[in-house]
Structure 1
C-alpha cells in the first residue's frame, strides 16, 4: 500500500489517507499554534480507496488534520461530516491531549465545527532510529507492569518536572529500584494518546489508565512531553541497565465509543471499514466500550502492523502486550488463532523475535481463549491468579490446583504438545484489587468511581484479616503482612513468566477500589513515602532467589520425571512429613500444606507451603553428603527462615561432608 500519513520531503509534505466510501477528503492546515485554519486542500483519489496530495512549501512542524465528506446515515454506519476535524490514523505526534467536548459528538448540520476542540497532528521528522537489537526479555523473567503517570507522580527523588512522565523511568532512583527487584522488563500501560469516556468529566474524573485510544502511534503529550525521542531515550536507558521495555497497546477499540460517542478519526474516515458491525448496522461491542476494531480488514491489519514496526524501529522496544487480544484474531466475529493478523505479527521480519503477550479474553461470543494462542505468544493466566488466591483464602480442596499452577499450568498450555509454559503468572494486575487489598478487603469499595459501587468485579477471591481497612491493630497488620509475603513467595516460586504490578512489592493500596481506571489521584498514585520497607526487602530477596536458582525461572513444565540426564525428578510433591503425596492426600479437601521439591544433582530446592493458620513443622528428606540450609543469605534472611504458622519457606540443599535433614515450621 502507498505510504499513509504525512511524508516530509525537502520540497514539502505529502498527505495520504484511506477511505473506501468517502466522496471527498481534505487536509486542513493550521497555524504554528494549531488554532487557526489556514487552508483546506482536497486530496486526490488515487485508486483502491487511497487519497493523496503533495503540498509544496510546507515544512517540518506543520500542524494539520483531515476532513471527510460522504453519506451521513448513522443507522447504516455512515458518519461522514466535514465539520469534524479528524486525526490522521498515521499521525505520530499531536500538539495537545484529547479532551472530551460536546461538539465532538454533535450530529451533522448542527453547526459544530470541531477544529477548536481537537488536537492537531504535527508533521515532524522522526528522530534518528536506534539499531534494532534482540529483546533483552526472555520467558521466565519478571515483568513489572506500571502506570507511567501513577508510578512516579509522588516519587521524592524524581524532579518535579519529570514526575508522571516516561522520562522519569530513566531516573537513577527508579532504575535502582527496578534492578533491586530483579525486573526483566517493564510493561508500560498505554502511553499512546487517549480520551476520557464521556461520562467522566461531569463527575470530575479522568481516565487514569489510558485504555481508550484515538489513534495508535501518537504518544500522549502528558506522558511524553518530549515526544518519541523521550520514549526512545528511556528505552535505551533501561536497556543499559539490563531492563527491557514492553508496550501495552490497545487495538481492540477506540475512544469513539458507541453511536453516542465522539467522531475523532476512524469513524469519520470510514466507520464501516474500521469497525465491526452487525448485519443491521449496529456496532459490535466485543470490548464493552461501544465499538470493536475490524482487525480482519486488510487496511486495519496493515495499520496495526505499521504501528508495531514503528515502535520497534523508532523506540527499540522489546515487545508488546495486547489488550483484549481475541479481537485481533476474530474473522467475521469468530476467533481463529491462525487469523491473518496474528500470523502476520509472528512472521513479520521486524516483529517475529519480539515479546508478544496476549490478554486472552474479550466479552464477545467464545471470547475466553486462554491457551489457544499459538507460540510464541505468552498469555495472561487468570486461572493462576484465581487458584492461588483461592488457596491462600483457605478454600477447600485447592492443593492440586495450586500444584498445577506452580508447575506451569500444563492443563492450559500443552494442548499442541508444547513442553514449555507460555503462562504469564500474576496475583494482581492493574485491573482489580492490589495485592495488599486482596488480604484487607473482602468486598470492593468503588464509591469514588461515581457509579454507586456497581462497576468492577463483585467476586475478587479476596479476604480480610479483621475489620476491612483497619490498620491500627498489630495482629491484623501482621496477618496481612504474612499473607502478602505468602502470595509473593508463591508467585516467585512458579514456573513460567511472572508479572508483578508496580507497588505491590511494598504494599500499595487503592482502599479496596478494584476498578480505579478513573482515579488519576492519590488512589492510584504510588505512595513512595509510606511504602512497607520490610515487604519490599522480602520481595527483593525473592527476586534474588529466583535469579540464583535456575529451576525457578525455567519454563519447562514440571512433570515429576528426570531431565537433562539427571537421576533426580524435576519435582517431587511431598506432605509436611516428607512423604510423597498419595491419591488420598491429593483428594483431601482439608489439606492446606504442600512441599514442592525441585530436583538438582548438586542440590534441591524445597518450597514449603503452609496455607493453614496453625504452626507446622516440615521435615525434608535427607541425602548423604548434603545439608539443608536457608535458601539465600540476604538482609531479609529473617524473613526467609521458617515462619511460625502460615506462609512459605525456602530451603536449599547443598553438598557437605555430612548428611543431614532440615526442618521448617
Structure 2
C-alpha cells in the first residue's frame, strides 16, 4: 500500500471537492460499479454536508464531490475510472458526539459496499476520529485532524461477474456440516502444495476434497471470510482476530486467505480464487456455507476507530439506547450492534447475502448472534422484517439458512424461536450430550451425589421436539436442529476429555475470556498425558469418551455438525477461546498418530453408517406408536431389563442406561421430497442404540427385535475394524432375551439382523 502525506490542516481548511458533473445512472444501487466508461458511486450519509469520493494512487489522492440525492443518498458518475481503482470516502459535517454525529473529513472511510480491499489496518492514533493519547485514552469531544489514509484498508473497484452456479443441493436429511477455518484447515495438510496451503485454493485442492469426501462431509461451513479489521486491543498485544468475527467489509473477501499470486494481482484475482474454490467444491458434490457476522462491525465502541459506518451515519447504522448523550446499546458484547430497525442496515445485509449467493455461488449462511438481527424495540421478534424478507427472498429463501439463536442482550437465548426456513444451532443438544458422558460421570467419580435423569438426553436424541415441535404451520421437525458437541468457540473434542478448566493464558486477557461452563472432564488428570506417564491408564478412557460423544451426535435426529480436526483428535491445549491465535494452537495438525488414525477411521465408519441407514437420520418427529402397516413403534425407549421405561424410571437420576429403538419402516416425510423405497428393495433396517453412562459395567437385556440384532459398533473398540476380528458370535448376534454385558461409559449400535 502506498503512503500519502499526512493531513494536518484543521477541518475549516479541508474543503469539499468540486461536485461531479453528473449523477449515477442507477442511484439506488449502492457501492462502486463499472458503468459506461467510468464508475457509478452511491453511498448513504443522511446527516452529511458533503461527501467526497477519493481516488487513490501512487501519486496521491484525487477527490470528486458526490451529488446529494433524496433520503440522504449521495452519488456520482466518474468517467475514465475503471476496475482496479483504489478509493475511499471523506465525509464533511458536524462532529457532535453527544448527538451521535462523527463526521470527520480527515478520516478516509471504506465504502460499506466495497467489493475488494487492499492494505492492512495499522495501529496508530490516526485511525481514530477523536484525539487519543499513546495509551489509548482520549477525548471524544475533540476531532483528530490527521489523515488516516496511510493506516487503513482501501476499497477497490471490482467488476461484476456472475459465474454459472451448479449447486449440489444436498437434502437436509442427508446433510453433514463440517465447520472449518480456511487457513487453519489446510496450512499443514499433506498433499496440498506449499504455495496453496492456508488459502481458498488450498481448500479446493484435491487432497482437501478427498479428505472431506472420505470422511463423509456434504456441507463445508467456513468461519467468516468477509474482510476484517482486528480489534485495537489485539493489535496492541501483537495478535490478530484469527476467527474473523470483526467485519470491515460485508462484500469483500478477506485477502489474507488468498494465494500470494492472487493478492499480488489484486482484489479481482482474490475474488476469482474464492469463486473458483466454490465451483470446485460444487463439482465434488460439497456445499459451501458462510458464517456471516451482520450483528456488529469492527469499529468497536464509541471510542473505537473511525473506519466506515460510524463516519457515514453513526445513528443510522448502530443500535443506540435513546439516551443523551448518545450511547450504544450493545447486545453483542463487542462494543456495538447494528440496528436492524433501520432500512439501510436491512438493505445492506440483504444486498450482501444476495451478492455472495448470486455472484460467488455459496449455498447458504450461518448467522452469528442471529437474535440481534431480529431485535426491534429491544425485543426479539421471530417475524422481524429482516427475517421475513430473508425467508421470502427468491434467491435466499431456498438456500441453507442457519441461526446462532442467541446474543448477550435481554432475553437473548432464543433456541427454538426462529421460523422456517431457518435452522438453528442447538446448544441444548451440546450441553445434554456433554453432561451425560462427561459432567455427570465426573460428579459421580468425585462422590458428589446424584446426577441428572435421562429425560433431557432422550429429548435431544429424538430431535428436540420441545424446541422445534412448533413453528409456522406446525412442527418444524428434527431437521430444524443443527446438533453439535463442539464448535470453533470452546474446547475441541479432544480437549473436552482432557481438561476440567480453560487454559487461555496465550490470549493475554488474564483468564477472563472464554466460557467457564464447559461440562468437560479430564478423567482425573488435567491436560496431556503420555502412555508412559503416571496415570497413562486414563488415555483409553479419554479416547472412549471421544467416541461416545461423536457417536451420540451421529445417531441423533437432526443435522450433525462436526468441527474441523475433531475427527483426528485436534487439541488447542485447553484454550477454549482461541479467536486470536493464528498459530499451531488453532491450526489443524495432520501429524496422525495411531490413536488419531483410529479415530479418523471411526469417524468415517459412523458417518457411513448414518448415511446408509435412514433410521439413524429420521426426517420427522416420532409418535411413539407404529406407522401404517408397521408392527413396531417408530421410536421406543427401554431400560437395562429390556422393558419400556415408565414414569418413575424417566425421573430417576440413578438410572444411567438407556436403550433407544427406532423403526426403519417409518415413511419418509412427504415434505422432504424423498420417495418411498421401491417395493422390491430390501426393507430399511431397524436400529438399536444402547448407552451406559454409569461408572460400572451393566448387564442388558436388549430391546425386542423383529428378527434379532446385529452389533455393528461398540465404543470400546479403538478401531471399527474390531467388528470383523471379533470371535464372540454371541455378542455380535445376540439371541432374543439374552443378557449382554455393556462396559462402563460405553455405547453400542445394533441393526436389525437380516434373515437368509
Alignment RMSD: 2.0
1:216 maps onto 2:243 in alignment? no
Task: Say which SS state the counterpart of residue 528 (structure 1) adopts.
Answer: coil
Cα distance change of structure 1 residues 471 and 227 upon mapping to structure 2, 3 Å threshold = same
Task: Say which SS state the counterpart of residue 220 (structure 2) adopts.
Answer: strand
| CA distance, structure 1, for counterparts of residue 239 and residue 592 of structure 2 | 25
Shift of residue 510 of structure 1?
A: 0.8
1:4 maps onto 2:30 in alignment? yes
TM-score for the superposition, normalised by structure 2: 0.84
1:560-571 alignment runs, 5 A limit: 560-563=624-627, 565-571=629-635
For 2:241, which of 207, 211, 227 is the aligned residue?
207
1:376 maps onto 2:428 in alignment? no
- Counterpart position of 1:197: 231
1:408 maps onto 2:468 in alignment? no
Shift of residue 385 of structure 1?
A: 0.6
Task: Say which SS state the counterpart of residue 517 (structure 1) adopts.
Answer: coil
- Counterpart position of 1:418: 475
Moved more, 583-592 or 345-354: 583-592
Shift of residue 654 of structure 1?
A: 2.6
- Counterpart position of 1:579: 643
1:176 maps onto 2:213 in alignment? no
Moved more, 479-488 or 57-66: 57-66
| CA distance, structure 2, for counterparts of residue 17 and residue 297 of structure 1 | 15
| CA distance, structure 1, for counterparts of residue 538 and residue 122 of structure 2 | 44
| CA distance, structure 1, for counterparts of residue 709 and residue 457 of structure 2 | 28
Task: Say which SS state the counterpart of residue 361 (structure 1) adopts.
Answer: coil
Preserved CA contact (<8 Å) 1:439 1:480: yes
| CA distance, structure 1, for counterparts of residue 625 and residue 122 of structure 2 | 58
| CA distance, structure 2, for counterparts of residue 373 and residue 313 of structure 1 | 25
1:144-293 alignment runs, 5 A limit: 144-224=178-258, 225=263, 226-280=269-323, 281-293=326-338
Shift of residue 11 of structure 1?
A: 1.5
1:131-146 alignment runs, 5 A limit: 131=165, 133=167, 135-136=169-170, 138-139=172-173, 141-146=175-180
| CA distance, structure 2, for counterparts of residue 655 and residue 477 of structure 1 | 36
| CA distance, structure 1, for counterparts of residue 404 and residue 560 of structure 2 | 14
Cα distance change of structure 1 residues 613 and 48 upon mapping to structure 2, 3 Å threshold = same
1:491-530 alignment runs, 5 A limit: 491-530=553-592
- Counterpart position of 2:127: 104
Preserved CA contact (<8 Å) 1:134 1:353: no
- Counterpart position of 2:137: none
1:604 maps onto 2:686 in alignment? yes
Preserved CA contact (<8 Å) 1:295 1:328: yes
- Counterpart position of 2:17: none
Task: Say which SS state the counterpart of residue 70 (structure 2) adopts.
Answer: coil
Q: Deviations over 1:308-365 (max 9, x none)?
A: 1001111211100000001111112221111111000000111110111000100111
Shift of residue 176 of structure 1?
A: 1.1
| CA distance, structure 2, for counterparts of residue 237 and residue 586 of structure 1 | 49
Shift of residue 631 of structure 1?
A: 5.9
- Counterpart position of 1:302: 347
Shift of residue 558 of structure 1?
A: 2.8
Shift of residue 398 of structure 1?
A: 3.5
Shift of residue 600 of structure 1?
A: 2.6
Shift of residue 296 of structure 1?
A: 1.7
Preserved CA contact (<8 Å) 1:578 1:621: yes
For 2:149, which of 86, 90, 115 is the aligned residue?
115
Task: Say which SS state the counterpart of residue 252 (structure 2) adopts.
Answer: coil
Pick the structure with greater CA Rg: 2
Task: Say which SS state the counterpart of residue 753 (structure 2) adopts.
Answer: strand
| CA distance, structure 2, for counterparts of residue 185 and residue 259 of structure 1 | 38
Cα distance change of structure 1 residues 410 and 333 upon mapping to structure 2, 3 Å threshold = same
- Counterpart position of 1:591: 655
Moved more, 301-310 or 628-637: 628-637
How many residues are aligned here? 654
For 2:391, which of 346, 360, 372 is the aligned residue?
346
Preserved CA contact (<8 Å) 2:176 2:560: yes
Shift of residue 565 of structure 1?
A: 4.2
For 2:45, which of 10, 19, 22 is the aligned residue?
19
TM-score for the superposition, normalised by structure 1: 0.95
For 1:82, which of 95, 102, 105 is the aligned residue?
105
Preserved CA contact (<8 Å) 2:177 2:219: yes
- Counterpart position of 2:266: none
Moved more, 361-370 or 611-620: 611-620
Shift of residue 29 of structure 1?
A: 0.4
| CA distance, structure 1, for counterparts of residue 98 and residue 585 of structure 2 | 40
Preserved CA contact (<8 Å) 1:331 1:339: yes
- Counterpart position of 2:161: 127
- Counterpart position of 1:661: none
Shift of residue 567 of structure 1?
A: 2.7
- Counterpart position of 1:619: 701
Shift of residue 629 of structure 1?
A: 4.0
Preserved CA contact (<8 Å) 2:165 2:279: no
| CA distance, structure 1, for counterparts of residue 705 and residue 563 of structure 2 | 39
- Counterpart position of 1:472: 530
For 1:63, which of 69, 76, 86 is the aligned residue?
86
- Counterpart position of 2:755: 656
Shift of residue 564 of structure 1?
A: 5.0
1:440 maps onto 2:463 in alignment? no
